[in-house]
Structure 1
């Protein structure tokens, strides 16, 4: 268990406060509370991320631990539906039956290179021919720890393979293992997906209570 921020070394600066980042179509914020808790949020396009947990100084950097740890989403194979006259396709559906956009996919064939693409929010037509047959699809979305195993495909024109998303804590990112460096009013967050710089908010909060 991570300790509270008050247990930091005496020579560390006070990092508690609100930090924000904004650019075209993206807004993000981090709140480091004096009791050692943190809140994180990001909005970009149709994607929303949140996180909460604990933070502490470890040496010259701040380390994060999500608390509670989010439950990762999963994907399983569903039924195969008839689509007369249409090429073979696949769909990724949420529990309410809607197409899930923004999820990366990889299609492996019996020979040759895999196809890497993404779900745009509707049926995905799987390219292939008699000498280039799709054998499996793998779905992934790194920020929310979505990673399916290779799921078998049986490509036949006139059919649609349905896959089902079990969301878990979809949209809640696991910050455990992430860390930040603070220099003056600038906080640089390091995650597996990359790094982002935040600037301390003076005289107010942008994250709400």
Structure 2
């Protein structure tokens, strides 16, 4: 398991990105109605949610803006947007972003391995292809997750069974593409491209962070992050 030094190293790597995400707000006169929307200074501030093998940071600006960053294993994510106070905690709503997506470029029959469907993926960039997977839905109601390893992925068609659909996924970022119907799967090749777009940007949509003992709690990747205000 990584020690505290490794955690701090990962956070130091993420911190410059956080600083560039949103420029410091410029002080300006506001109408009374706008000032009423600004949250109390006692809530605004910088929050540290780091724990073993995870570095996490949250800034709540007194202008109603937030900045968030997390580094956990191979995952580095960030987010910016607006925050509001509500009974029991706060709510985050992210700025607009373009999520990553998988594009089906085309299919060919008879070019893949016999008794298998062959998947090709391009555009993975700096990500190793081993972090990508295929979700296979079969006509018997079962499904399975098959990982890429090196180059094209061959998925056997067993005992004449039929595939209902195949979708590509990037599990570490909780990304799954559109389900593609795959009739007559044996010997078929499917060609995909991955478009990273705003890869790593976490889109919060009315995401509530419950407040407990002065900390704000967030569930990410099966772990509870407790953000506590720096200096408290």
Fold shared, TM-score > 0.5 on shorter chain: yes
Query: Given the alignment of the two structures, is residue 92 of structure 1 paired with residue 92 of structure 2, yes or no?
Result: no
How many residues align? The count is 197
Judged with a 3 Å threshold, the aligned counterparts in structure 2 of structure 1 residues 123 and 86 are, in CA distance, closer, same or farther, namely farther
User: Does the 8 Å contact 2:89/2:216 carry over to 1?
Assistant: no
Q: Tell me by how many angstroms 1:115 deviates.
A: 1.5
1:77 corresponds to: 104
- Contiguous gaps of at least 5 residues in structure 2: 1-32
The CA deviation string for residues 126-165 of structure 1, in whole angstroms up to 9 with x for no partner, is 13224223342123458867442211335345x6532111
The CA deviation string for residues 8-48 of structure 1, in whole angstroms up to 9 with x for no partner, is 68xx7822111122334321111111111100111122221
The structure 2 residue matched to 1:30, chosen from 55, 58, 76, is: 58
State the secondary structure of the residue aligned to 2:63.
Answer: coil
1:175 corresponds to: 204
User: Does the 8 Å contact 1:6/1:34 carry over to 2?
Assistant: no
Q: Tell me by how many angstroms 1:89 deviates.
A: 3.0
The CA deviation string for residues 51-77 of structure 1, in whole angstroms up to 9 with x for no partner, is 00111112232111112x211222121
User: Does the 8 Å contact 2:46/2:59 carry over to 1?
Assistant: yes
User: Does the 8 Å contact 1:4/1:36 carry over to 2?
Assistant: no
2:30 corresponds to: none
The CA deviation string for residues 95-144 of structure 1, in whole angstroms up to 9 with x for no partner, is 65975453453201233512134445753331322422334212345886
State the secondary structure of the residue aligned to 2:121.
Answer: strand
User: Does the 8 Å contact 1:108/1:115 carry over to 2?
Assistant: yes
Cα distance in 1 for partners of 2:51, 2:150 equals 25
Cα distance in 2 for partners of 1:191, 1:8 equals 27
The structure 2 residue matched to 1:166, chosen from 172, 175, 195, is: 195
The structure 2 residue matched to 1:66, chosen from 71, 86, 94, is: 94
Compute the TM-score of the two structures, normalised by the length of structure 2. Answer: 0.67
State the secondary structure of the residue aligned to 1:126.
Answer: strand
Judged with a 3 Å threshold, the aligned counterparts in structure 2 of structure 1 residues 149 and 46 are, in CA distance, closer, same or farther, namely same
Compute the TM-score of the two structures, normalised by the length of structure 1. Answer: 0.73
1:155 corresponds to: 185
Query: Given the alignment of the two structures, is residue 110 of structure 1 paired with residue 145 of structure 2, yes or no?
Result: no
State the secondary structure of the residue aligned to 1:23.
Answer: coil
